[in-house]
């Protein structure tokens, strides 16, 4: 493992022309202190965890002192925000220190979120607050624990500097790791300006860095074919990501094109939410009253955003080829979703009627306000024998007759599966989490941090959510449905 001054920066994005970014130094944050450190994420860049105890650690991860080899910059991009195109956005409060190559040969962006004003701050203060930093820190690691592609979080550094949002809050800097922070909007900005050469430059950069198999392909085929394959890779990754979000009950909250990763990662966490009582129209973002980014809209929004990306790539890809790629989104999404939901029910090879079985379960869960995560976890205990009543499950439903009807269909479907109930339960526990980052759990951690400077709950949740499928009996209370007071929690675009 490496010390801080031994981290191996390469900074490939900084080698792109100046039109792609703005070089600048972070704004100093007064008297920074470490709030939480994630050793699992540190291993991605070969960082020795003992380095977090250094007196100057917080100085390095606010940007007060630059790490050796860092080449800080803010990235330029545009984006469609709630359906409306904004021609210039960019990193308004994030600064990319550079890329670190680990001993496995992987390059990881190291980005400071909340590091101060940039040329793209649009009259903002360039700061993040402790509240939102805690939420992103925990959720990115929760998603990783669930096996969903995501940016990672290395640490949170706090300060007593005051930041004005709906109220006065304390500043914080979140260190975020990702293979890339290039997003759909990174291409849109150059398309809107008619700068087609930059579109090709960025596409070639992303392909060389993240889809190297397409580089070999392009040696023998037309460039247009290479770019079509690139769009197809992004489309397929996005389809799978949307299916994974839906299967676990996750809502992003702000699916603007500038928040869509070109690698199919979950990132730019803000007003996210894990659904509790099943509601297909669940809106996690208080700033989205019309529900553009409601839970049941996410798959379609994924395609809409891909169409924006395809338009931005249109100087490189003929329209017919782009349409052919986008036509593959829906089949890919539905296939992935069917596979994931079938696995949640303990089913092996998909049957044509399985999605109907899933749909009818979701309907009665909605009608009976059943907790999504807990119900699927409990279904592992379903007794498929002919005379079983499954009363423990049945009693969760107000309309028990509706459960009985569904249970009969489920039992009949399980009869076509090989293996025992015990084997099925083992499979189901491996894909149905017991623990998710419920809003009230995050709120408890935030309040302890803000009111008492007690960061122990952050670290406790970090450990819990790293193993969401394990029983962890000592943490049983963290699997409970939300208390009544949790209904008052609202998260918005400032979250």
Within this chain, do residues 300 and 404 fall inside the same structural domain, yes or no? no
**Tokens (6 digits) for 326:** 């986008």
Please, are residues 274 and 248 in contact by the beta-carbon 8 Å criterion? yes
d(CA 379, CA 428): 8
Q: Does residue 388 sit within a domain?
A: yes
Within this chain, do residues 51 and 65 fall inside the same structural domain, yes or no? yes
**pLDDT of the residue at 217:** 56
d(CA 442, CA 458): 8
Confidence of residue 494 (pLDDT cuts 50, 70, 90): low
SS3 167: coil
Q: Does residue 16 sit within a domain?
A: yes
**Tokens (6 digits) for 319:** 């329209």
Q: Does residue 46 sit within a domain?
A: yes
Chain segment 173-186, per-residue pLDDT in tens:
999 999 999 999 99
d(CA 238, CA 246): 12
Closest CA to 159 of 26, 25, 35: 35
Chain segment 307-364, per-residue pLDDT in tens:
999 999 999 999 999 999 999 999 999 999 999 999 999 998 888 899 999 999 999 9
Within this chain, do residues 221 and 252 fall inside the same structural domain, yes or no? yes
DSSP bridge partners of 155: 37, 175
Helical segments of 62-183, H only: 130-145
Name the residues annotated as catalytic.
Answer: 258
Q: Is the pLDDT of residue 488 over 90?
A: no
Within this chain, do residues 372 and 227 fall inside the same structural domain, yes or no? no
Query: How is 258-296 classified by DSSP, letter by letter?
Result: GG-BTT--B---SS-EE--B--TT----TT-TT-TT-GG
Final residue of a domain: which of 308, 339, 370? 339
Helical segments of 268-388, H only: 298-312, 319-327, 329-344, 354-367, 372-378
Final residue of a domain: which of 134, 155, 181? 181
Q: Does residue 459 sit within a domain?
A: no
Within this chain, do residues 243 and 370 fall inside the same structural domain, yes or no? no
Please, are residues 40 and 148 in contact by the beta-carbon 8 Å criterion? no
Q: Does residue 492 sit within a domain?
A: no
Contacts of 52 (CB under 8 A, 6+ apart): 34, 37, 39, 42, 155
Which residue has tokens 């690691």?
141
Q: Does residue 490 sit within a domain?
A: no
Confidence of residue 492 (pLDDT cuts 50, 70, 90): confident
Chain segment 71-119, per-residue pLDDT in tens:
999 999 999 999 999 999 999 999 999 999 999 999 999 999 999 999 9
Please, are residues 445 and 383 in contact by the beta-carbon 8 Å criterion? no
- Rounded to whole angstroms, the maximal C-alpha distance in the chain is 71
Within this chain, do residues 23 and 144 fall inside the same structural domain, yes or no? yes
Average pLDDT over residues 487-495: 78
Q: Does residue 347 sit within a domain?
A: no
Within this chain, do residues 36 and 172 fall inside the same structural domain, yes or no? yes
**Domain containing residue 99:** 4-181
**pLDDT of the residue at 215:** 79
SS3 8: coil
Q: How many CB atoms lie within 10 A of CB 351?
A: 15
Q: Does residue 370 sit within a domain?
A: yes
User: What's the pTM?
Assistant: 0.97
d(CA 99, CA 355): 43
> What whole-number percentage of the chain has pLDDT above 70?
98
Q: What is the count of structural domains for the chain?
A: 3
d(CA 442, CA 131): 9
Within this chain, do residues 200 and 333 fall inside the same structural domain, yes or no? yes
Angle at 214 between CA 209 and CA 220, to 5 degrees: 135
**pLDDT of the residue at 67:** 95
Q: How many CB atoms lie within 10 A of CB 387?
A: 5
Within this chain, do residues 80 and 164 fall inside the same structural domain, yes or no? yes
Q: What is the mean pLDDT of the chain?
A: 96
Chain segment 222-261, per-residue pLDDT in tens:
666 899 999 999 999 999 999 999 999 999 999 999 999 9
d(CA 291, CA 295): 9
Within this chain, do residues 51 and 147 fall inside the same structural domain, yes or no? yes
Confidence of residue 486 (pLDDT cuts 50, 70, 90): confident
Confidence of residue 221 (pLDDT cuts 50, 70, 90): low
d(CA 296, CA 414): 28
Average pLDDT over residues 372-378: 98
Least-confidence region, from 57-61, 350-354, 372-376: 350-354
**pLDDT of the residue at 223:** 64
Chain segment 278-299, per-residue pLDDT in tens:
999 999 999 999 999 999 999 9
Chain segment 5-51, per-residue pLDDT in tens:
999 999 999 999 999 999 999 999 999 999 999 999 999 999 999 99
Please, are residues 298 and 246 in contact by the beta-carbon 8 Å criterion? yes
Within this chain, do residues 9 and 63 fall inside the same structural domain, yes or no? yes
Q: Is the pLDDT of residue 476 over 60?
A: yes
Final residue of a domain: which of 146, 181, 216? 181
End-to-end, the C-alpha distance of the chain in Å comes to 35
> What whole-number percentage of the chain has pLDDT above 90?
93
Q: How many CB atoms lie within 10 A of CB 51?
A: 19
Average pLDDT over residues 58-76: 97
**pLDDT of the residue at 493:** 79
Within this chain, do residues 213 and 125 fall inside the same structural domain, yes or no? no
């Amino acid at each position: 493992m490496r010390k801080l001054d031994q981290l191996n920066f390469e900074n490939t994005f900084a080698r792109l022309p100046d039109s792609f970014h703005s070089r600048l130094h972070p704004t100093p944050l007064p008297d920074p202190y470490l709030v939480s450190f994630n050793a699992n994420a540190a291993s991605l860049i070969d960082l020795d965890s003992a380095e977090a105890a250094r007196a100057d650690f917080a100085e390095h991860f606010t940007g007060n002192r630059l790490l050796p080899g860092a080449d800080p910059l803010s990235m330029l991009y545009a984006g469609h925000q709630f359906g409306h195109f904004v021609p210039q956005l960019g990193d308004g409060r994030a600064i990319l220190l550079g890329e670190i190559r680990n001993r496995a040969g992987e390059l990881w962006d190291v980005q400071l979120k909340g590091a101060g004003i940039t040329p793209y701050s649009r009259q903002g203060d360039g700061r993040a607050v402790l509240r939102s930093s805690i939420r992103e820190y925990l959720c990115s690691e929760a998603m990783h624990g669930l096996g969903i592609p995501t940016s990672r979080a290395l640490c949170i550094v706090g300060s007593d500097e005051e930041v004005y949002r709906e109220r006065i809050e304390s500043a914080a800097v979140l260190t975020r790791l990702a293979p890339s922070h290039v997003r759909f909007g990174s291409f849109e900005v150059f398309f809107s300006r008619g700068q087609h050469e930059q579109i090709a430059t960025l596409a070639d950069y992303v392909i060389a860095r993240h889809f190297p198999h397409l580089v070999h392909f392009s040696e023998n085929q037309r460039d247009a074919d290479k770019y079509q394959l690139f769009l197809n890779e992004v489309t397929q990754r996005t389809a799978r990501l949307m299916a994974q979000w839906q299967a676990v009950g996750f809502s992003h909250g702000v699916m603007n094109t500038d928040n869509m990763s070109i690698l199919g990662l979950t990132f730019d966490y803000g007003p996210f939410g894990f659904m509790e009582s099943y509601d297909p129209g669940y809106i996690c973002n208080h700033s989205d009253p019309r529900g553009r980014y409601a839970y049941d809209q996410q798959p379609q929004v994924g395609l809409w955003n891909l169409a924006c990306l395809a338009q931005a790539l249109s100087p490189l890809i003929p329209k017919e080829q782009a349409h052919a790629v986008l036509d593959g989104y829906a089949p890919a999404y539905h296939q992935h979703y069917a596979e994931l939901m079938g696995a949640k029910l303990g089913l092996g090879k998909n049957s044509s009627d399985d999605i109907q079985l899933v749909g009818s379960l979701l309907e009665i869960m909605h009608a009976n306000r059943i907790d999504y995560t807990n119900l699927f976890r409990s279904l592992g205990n379903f007794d498929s024998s002919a005379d079983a009543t499954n009363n423990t499950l049945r009693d969760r439903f107000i309309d028990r007759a509706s459960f009985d009807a569904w249970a009969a269909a489920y039992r009949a479907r399980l009869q076509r599966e090989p293996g025992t109930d015990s084997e099925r339960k083992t499979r189901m526990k491996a894909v149905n989490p017991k623990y998710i980052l419920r809003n009230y759990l995050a709120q408890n951690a935030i309040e302890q941090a803000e009111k008492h400077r007690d960061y122990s709950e952050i670290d406790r949740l970090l450990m819990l959510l790293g193993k969401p499928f394990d029983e962890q009996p000592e943490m049983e209370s963290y699997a409970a449905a939300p208390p009544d007071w949790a209904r008052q929690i609202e998260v918005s675009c400032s979250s």
